[in-house]
């Protein structure tokens, strides 16, 4: 239990400005002004009388909330919350003794008076839902400790109501695992992108900390690319305790040249705020005979036993829970402190030599210029017939990598000639927003002459991410994932909305504005960037041209539905956390739409309507759109 407190106990002696490390309360003097509340959607709660006690499923959490509201041992009532007056309540467990088994009851905090928000910090058990936090006002710091947050439904966290409160310092967001360096199902780079609405709320606050930085702690997770946080401007990112498994990247060792004195070079695969390589691990794990030195950001390891399949390097700790990793200072005042336990996969084989590109049609390959005299001997070549089965190995003559997605159900195969026993993965037919993405890394033909794509799965939140194999090239099954021409207008269809940026390189430019699902935008131009395309909008900003996120033309979004049968409202798009049942004929406002289990591509993803308080089915047998 103490490992995850690393981020609380760590003292950044090298920093010139006092920075809050999650869990250490520091109050700076500040003029007390009227708090401004951010216009954020709050979800309705059932009617309760003031004297009704709040029903908490976890008794320890109930006691923690009672202490924050000063109830002196009696149960917290809805009146205590509705009529609260005083400093912002602090629902924090600084003793590390609470591990909440349910957050039920915290939804009552939505009824706090305007301008009053809470500070939250405690541990949460694995797989406990965050749904009760949706709409809860937070004016201090939001610190949640939980292992296994990968593939979690982040809807509720993204709906936390972050108040613009100039009287409360410090402000920080802390999403931390409990098991330092061993949170095998922690947040990944893709998960962090899904939390963009919550992270953006913190970064967009007018009143930051006194040093002007946005404090973000993403520790004890699986993050390898911190350049995403650059979009938030001046930041202070604490990302220690990462577990990093480089399964898809191989370091080759040639057995023919290997000796006991050989040194293996391990390039840094963690990226800093500017996308630069960062080497934050300084010794070999279980170091018996291996030694590690640094060449820039590359780790040089010697003393490796022949046949070793993995090299594990880790930070140096001078004493328990204190890493020697130094903070990285950036020109704009941003700070990054990160370290990790890194697994490098070794393959005992000679590194493959990349194939030379084929010459363009109609052009003879360039020959080196030499001083050898020209001879007049003519040589006639006789082409040899191809060997049996060679068609499947012939490289294409005009191959260009691109991104496609599947529009029908298909399989990923090991070889270009499809056989049932060589199926690797099945991808079910998906709605447009969830269609599986692939990068084409080669083209070939089967023994029968049918075109195949050699692809890599790039569905980063899916368990199939990084797999390679062959799929059909039939246009009836796959098509381009990015628009290649510019329509006059587009509609945003991604449930989380999309950001518009001032520059076409969307990953590094600061976002200018956010467009919610259903927004209709005017397009004036298209720009091609590597494997992708961008649309330039009428206001001069740039937006992705990914067909999963936007759709050409004006899409009329439903605003109200009516139930045709008994319909249940749930807390998640997976229809879990039952909340309320509606009778036939009930009219419901539609806030948007989403899809169930978007990261499990092996089964279909039914559509759901997002309504006030949760999600309902979009099955036309159960509901109908009325406007």
At residue 40, the pLDDT reads: 38
> What is the Cβ-side half-sphere exposure of residue 227, based on CA atoms within 13 angstroms?
14
At residue 332, the pLDDT reads: 87
Above 70 in pLDDT, residue 26? no
At residue 474, the pLDDT reads: 92
Average pLDDT on 202-220 reads 81
| Residues in CB range of 603: below 8 A, 6 or more apart | 428, 597
Above 80 in pLDDT, residue 208? no
Quick check: helix, strand or coil at residue 33? coil
Per-residue pLDDT tens over the stretch 75-122: 999 999 999 998 889 998 877 778 999 999 999 999 999 989 999 999
> What is the Cβ-side half-sphere exposure of residue 331, based on CA atoms within 13 angstroms?
1
Cα(471)–Cα(438) distance, integer angstroms:
10
Q: Which of 407-416, 494-503, 516-525 has the lowest mean pLDDT?
A: 494-503
- Identify how many contiguous H helices and E strands the chain contains and give both numbers: 6, 41
Q: Which of 68-72, 295-299, 395-399, 434-438 has the lowest mean pLDDT?
A: 395-399
Of 557, 576, 559, nearest to 568 (Cα)?
576
| Residues in CB range of 362: below 8 A, 6 or more apart | none
- Averaged pLDDT score across all residues of the chain: 82
Between the alpha carbon of residue 136 and those of residues 155, 160, 546, the distances in Å are 13, 5, 33
Cα(362)–Cα(68) distance, integer angstroms:
78
| Residues in CB range of 16: below 8 A, 6 or more apart | none
pLDDT, greater one: 360 or 372: 360
CB atoms within 10 A of CB 607: 15
Q: How confident is the model at residue 8 (pLDDT cuts 50, 70, 90)?
A: very low
At residue 400, the pLDDT reads: 60
Q: How confident is the model at residue 503 (pLDDT cuts 50, 70, 90)?
A: confident
Cα(527)–Cα(588) distance, integer angstroms:
40
At residue 14, the pLDDT reads: 33
Residue 160 in contact with residue 134, Cβ under 8 Å? Answer: yes
Q: How confident is the model at residue 355 (pLDDT cuts 50, 70, 90)?
A: low
Above 80 in pLDDT, residue 340? yes
| Residues in CB range of 377: below 8 A, 6 or more apart | none
Q: How confident is the model at residue 50 (pLDDT cuts 50, 70, 90)?
A: very high
201, two tokens: 């709320």
Per-residue pLDDT tens over the stretch 76-86: 999 999 999 98
At residue 20, the pLDDT reads: 36
Quick check: helix, strand or coil at residue 369? coil
pLDDT, greater one: 27 or 525: 525
Specify the long-range contacts of residues 561-564, CB closer than 8 Å, at least 24 apart: 561/587, 561/588, 561/590, 561/609, 561/611, 561/616, 561/623, 561/624, 561/625, 561/626, 562/586, 562/587, 562/588, 562/623, 562/624, 562/626, 563/588, 563/616, 563/622, 563/623, 564/621, 564/622, 564/623, 564/624
Of 43, 60, 33, nearest to 107 (Cα)?
43
pLDDT, greater one: 15 or 512: 512
> What is the Cβ-side half-sphere exposure of residue 596, based on CA atoms within 13 angstroms?
17
Above 70 in pLDDT, residue 423? yes
At residue 508, the pLDDT reads: 53
pLDDT, greater one: 488 or 211: 488
Q: In the chain, what percentage of residues exceed pLDDT 70? A: 81
At residue 387, the pLDDT reads: 44
pTM of the predicted protein model: 0.54
Q: How confident is the model at residue 209 (pLDDT cuts 50, 70, 90)?
A: low
Backbone angles phi, psi at 44, to 5 degrees: -70, 150
Average pLDDT on 519-547 reads 90
Per-residue pLDDT tens over the stretch 305-337: 888 888 889 887 765 555 667 789 888 889 999
Q: How confident is the model at residue 292 (pLDDT cuts 50, 70, 90)?
A: confident
At residue 206, the pLDDT reads: 78
């Amino acid at each position: 239990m103490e490992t995850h407190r690393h981020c609380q106990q760590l003292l950044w002696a090298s920093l010139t400005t006092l920075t809050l490390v999650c869990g250490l309360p520091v109050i700076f003097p500040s003029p007390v002004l009227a708090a401004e509340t951010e216009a954020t959607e709050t979800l309705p709660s059932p009617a309760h009388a003031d004297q009704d006690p709040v029903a908490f499923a976890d008794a320890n959490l109930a006691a923690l909330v009672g202490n924050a509201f000063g109830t002196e041992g009696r149960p917290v009532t809805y009146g205590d919350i509705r009529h609260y007056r005083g400093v912002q309540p602090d629902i924090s467990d600084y003793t590390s003794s609470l591990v909440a088994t349910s957050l039920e009851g915290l939804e009552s905090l939505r009824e706090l008076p305007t301008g009053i928000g809470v500070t939250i910090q405690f541990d949460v058990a694995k797989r406990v839902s965050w749904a009760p936090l949706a709409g809860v006002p937070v004016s201090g710091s939001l610190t949640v400790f939980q292992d296994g947050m990968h593939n979690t439904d982040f809807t509720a966290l993204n709906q936390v109501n972050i108040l613009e409160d100039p009287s409360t310092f410090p402000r920080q967001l802390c999403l931390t695992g409990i098991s330092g360096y061993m949170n095998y199902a922690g947040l990944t780079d893709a998960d962090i992108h899904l939390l963009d609405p919550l992270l953006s709320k913190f970064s967009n606050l007018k009143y930051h900390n006194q040093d002007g930085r946005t404090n973000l702690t993403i520790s004890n997770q699986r993050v390898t690319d911190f350049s995403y946080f650059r979009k938030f401007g001046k930041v202070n990112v604490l990302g220690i305790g990462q577990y990093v498994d480089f399964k898809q990247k191989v370091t080759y060792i040639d057995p023919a040249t290997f000796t006991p004195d050989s040194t293996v070079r391990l390039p840094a695969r963690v990226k800093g705020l500017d996308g630069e390589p960062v080497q934050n691990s300084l010794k070999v794990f279980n170091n018996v005979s291996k030694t590690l030195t640094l060449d820039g950001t590359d780790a040089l390891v010697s003393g490796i036993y022949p046949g070793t399949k993995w090299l594990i390097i880790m930070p140096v700790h001078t004493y328990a829970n204190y890493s020697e990793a130094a903070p990285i200072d950036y020109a704009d005042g941003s700070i990054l402190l990160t370290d990790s336990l890194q697994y490098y996969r070794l393959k005992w084989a000679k590194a493959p030599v990349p194939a030379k590109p084929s010459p363009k049609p109609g052009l003879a390959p360039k020959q080196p210029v030499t001083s050898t005299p020209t001879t007049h001997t003519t040589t006639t070549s006789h082409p040899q017939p191809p060997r049996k089965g060679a068609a499947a190995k012939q490289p294409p003559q005009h191959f260009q990598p691109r991104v496609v997605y599947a529009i029908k159900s298909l399989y990923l195969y090991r070889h270009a000639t499809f056989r049932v026993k060589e199926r690797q993965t099945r991808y079910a037919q998906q709605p447009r927003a969830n269609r599986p993405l692939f990068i084409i890394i080669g083209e070939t033909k089967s023994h029968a002459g049918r075109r195949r794509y050699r692809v890599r799965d790039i569905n980063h939140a899916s368990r199939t991410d990084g797999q390679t194999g062959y799929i059909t090239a039939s246009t009836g099954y796959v098509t381009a994932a990015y628009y290649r021409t510019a329509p006059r207008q587009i509609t945003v269809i991604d449930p989380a909305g999309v950001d518009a940026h001032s520059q076409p390189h969307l990953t590094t430019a600061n976002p200018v504005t956010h467009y919610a699902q259903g927004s209709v935008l005017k397009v004036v131009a298209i720009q091609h960037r590597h494997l992708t395309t961008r649309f330039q909008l009428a206001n001069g900003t740039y937006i992705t041209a990914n067909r999963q996120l936007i759709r050409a033309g004006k899409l009329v979004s439903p605003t109200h539905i009516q139930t045709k049968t008994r319909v249940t409202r749930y807390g998640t798009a997976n229809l879990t956390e039952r909340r309320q049942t509606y009778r036939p004929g009930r009219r419901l406002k539609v806030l948007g739409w989403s899809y169930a289990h978007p990261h499990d591509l092996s089964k279909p993803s039914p559509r759901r309507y997002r309504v006030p308080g949760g999600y309902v089915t979009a099955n036309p047998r159960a509901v109908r759109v009325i406007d």
